[in-house]
Amino acid sequence: MEYDHKAIEEKWQSRWEQQPDLFHADVDPSRPKYYLLEMLPYPSGTLHMGHIRNYAIGDALARYKWMRGYSVLHPMGWDAFGLPAENAAIKNKRPPREYTLSNIAHMKGQHRRFGFSYDWSCELATCEPEYYRWNQWFFLKMLERGLAYRKHARVNWCPKCNTVLANEQVVDGCCWRHEDTPVEQRALEQWFLKITAYADQLLDSIAQLEEGWPERVLTMQRNWIGRSEGARIDFRVADSGEPITVFTTRIDTICGATCVILAPEHPLMEKLTAGRPDLAAAARRLAESQQGRDPADLVKEGIFLDRFAINPFNGERLPIWSANFVLMEYGTGAIMAVPAHDDRDYEFCKKYGIRVRHVVVPTEDQATSAGLAFTEDGVLINSGPFTGLPSDEARRNMTAHGRERGFAEAAITYRIRDWGISRQRYWGTPIPIVHCPKCGTLPVPEDQLPVLLPLNIEITGMGGSPLRQVPEFLHVKCPRCGVAAERETDTMDTFVDSSWYFYRYCDPRNDRQPFDPAKIRYWFPIDQYIGGVEHAILHLIYSRFFTKVMRDLGLVANDEPVKRLFTQGMVIREGAKMSKNLGNVVEPETIADKYGADTARLFSLFAAPPEKDLDWNDAGVEGMYRFLARVFRFVTREHPAGDGSADRQVLRKLHQTIRKVTEDFETRWHFNTSLAAIMELVNELYQQEANVSAAVMEQTLPALVLLLAPFAPYTAEELWAQLGRQGPVMRVPWPSFDPALAAEDEAEVVVQVNGKLRGRLTVPKQTPKEELERRALADPKVRAHLDGKQVVKVVTVPDKLVNIVVR
RNA sequence: GCGGAUGUGGCGGAAUUGGCAGACGCGCUAGAUUCAGGUUCUAGUCCUCGCAAGGGGGUGGAGGUUCAAGUCCUCUCAUCCGCACCA
Q: Classify residue A92 by burial, with Cβ atoms within 10 Å: 0-12, 13-18, 19+.
A: exposed
A209-214 mean pLDDT:
90
Burial class (CB in 10 A: 0-12, 13-18, 19+), A196: middle
Q: In this prediction, what percent of chain A has a pLDDT beyond 90?
A: 68
Q: How high is the pLDDT of residue A94?
A: 86
What is the spatial distance between Cα A314 and Cα A96, in angstroms, rounded to a whole number? 65
Contacts 24+ apart (CB under 8 A), A390-394: A390/A363, A391/A250, A391/A252, A391/A360, A392/A252, A394/A251, A394/A252
Whether the Cβ atoms of residue A398 and residue A386 lie closer than 8 Å to each other: yes
Yes or no: say if A466 and A426 are a contact pair by the CB < 8 Å rule: yes
pLDDT band at A581 (very low <50, low <70, confident <90, very high): confident
3-state secondary structure of A371: coil
User: What's the angle, vertex CA A501, arms to CA A498 and CA A504, rounded to 5?
Assistant: 165
| Strands (E) located in A129-225 | 148-158, 163-165, 170-171, 174-175, 184-193
Please report which residue ranges of A319-428 form alpha helices under DSSP H.
343-352, 391-405
pLDDT higher than 80, residue A686: yes
Interval A444-468: pLDDT, tens: 999 999 999 999 888 776 667 889 9
Q: Which residues of A660-691 are buried (b: 16+ CB within 10 A; e: fewer)?
A: bbbebbeeebbbbbbbebbbebbebbeebbeb
Q: Is the CB of A411 under 7 A from strand B?
A: no
Q: H/E element holding A59?
A: helix A49-67
Cα separations (Å) of A796 from A744, A757, A802? Answer: 19, 14, 4
Q: Is the CB of A780 under 7 A from strand B?
A: no
Cα distances from A290 to residues A300, A301, A328, in angstroms, run: 10, 10, 11
Predicted confidence at residue A118, as pLDDT, reads 96
**What pLDDT does A194 receive?**
95
Q: How far apart are CA A632 and CA A762, in angstroms?
A: 36
Least confident of A96-100, A600-604, A754-758: A754-758
Alpha-carbon distance A52 to A571, whole Å? 10
Indicate if the pLDDT at residue A20 is higher than 90: no
Distance in Å from B38's C1' to A634's CA comes to 21
pLDDT interval class at A663 (50, 70, 90)? very high
pLDDT band for position A205 (cuts 50, 70, 90)? very high
Cβ atoms of A75 and A36 within 8 Å: the answer is no
Stated length of chain A: 807
* Closest nucleotide to A621: CA versus each C1': B26
Report residues 605-644 of A contacting strand B, contact meaning Cβ closer than 7 Å.
606-609, 612-615, 617, 619-620, 622-624, 626-627, 629-630, 633
Residue A170 is predicted with a pLDDT of 76
A199 closest CA partner among A229, A244, A174, A178: A229
Which range in A121-125, A530-534, A613-617 is most confidently predicted, on average pLDDT?
A121-125
3-state SS class at A781: helix
Phi, psi (degrees; rounded to nearest 5) at A761 = -120, 135
Look up the protein residue whose alpha carbon has the minimum distance to the C1' of B15.
A673
| Strand B close residues, chain A 486-525, CB < 7 angstroms | none
Report pLDDT for A462. Answer: 67
Nucleotide with smallest C1' distance to residue A624 CA: B25
Q: What are phi and psi of A317, to 5 degrees?
A: -90, 120
Strand B, CB < 7 A, residues 711-750 of A: 748, 750
Nearest nt (C1') to A226 (CA)? B86
Q: Tell me the pairing of strands A422-423 and A184-193.
A: unpaired
> Which residues in chain A, range 325-344, keep a C-beta under 7 Å from any nucleic strand B atom?
325-327, 329-331, 333, 335, 342, 344
Query: Is strand B within 7 Å of residue A793 (CB)?
Result: yes
A75 bridge partner residues: none
pLDDT recorded at residue A166 = 72
- Burial of residue A569 (CB within 10 Å: 0-12, 13-18, 19+) is middle
Task: Say which amino acid occupies A158.
Answer: C
Q: Which of A184-188, A297-301, A614-618 has the highest mean pLDDT?
A: A614-618
The secondary structure of A63-115, three-state, reads HHHHHCCCEEECCCCECCCCHHHHHHHHHHCCCHHHHHHHHHHHHHHHHHHHC
Mean pLDDT of chain A: 91
In the complex, which nucleotide's C1' lies nearest to the CA atom of residue A414?
B86
Q: What is the pLDDT of residues A357-387, one digit of tens each?
A: 999 988 765 555 545 678 888 899 999 999 9
Nearest to A36 by CA among A482, A531, A508: A531
Residue nearest to nucleotide B82 (CA to C1'): A220
> How far is A2 from A671, CA to CA, in rounded Å?
26
| Of the candidates A659, A582, A572, the residue with the CA atom closest to the CA atom of residue A614 | A572
Geometric angle at alpha carbon A43, from A37 and A44, rounded to 5°: 130
Of the two residues A788 and A702, the one the predictor is more confident about is A702
ipTM rounded to 2 decimals: 0.95
Nucleotides of B under 7 A from a protein CB: 3-5, 11-16, 19-21, 23-27, 39-43, 54-57, 67-69, 81-87
| Whole-Å CA distances, A23 to A353, A417, A529, A786, A793 | 72, 42, 18, 66, 62
Which residues in 215-234 of chain A line strand B, with CB less than 7 A from it? 215-216, 219-220, 223-224, 226, 228, 230
| pTM exceeds 0.95 | no
Contact A570, A635 (CB under 8 A): no
Mean pLDDT along residues A181-185: 78
How many CA atoms lie within 13 Å of A636's alpha carbon, on the beta-carbon side?
Answer: 18
Q: What is the pLDDT of residue A367?
A: 53
CA atom of A761 to C1′ atom of B48, Å: 28
Cis? peptide before A525, omega within 30° of 0: yes
Question: With 0-12 CB in 10 A as exposed, 13-18 as middle and 19+ as buried, what is A393?
Answer: middle
Run of H or E including A337: strand A334-337
pLDDT at A296 over 60: no
Q: Name the residues in A384-403 having a C-beta closer than 7 Å to nucleic acid strand B.
A: none
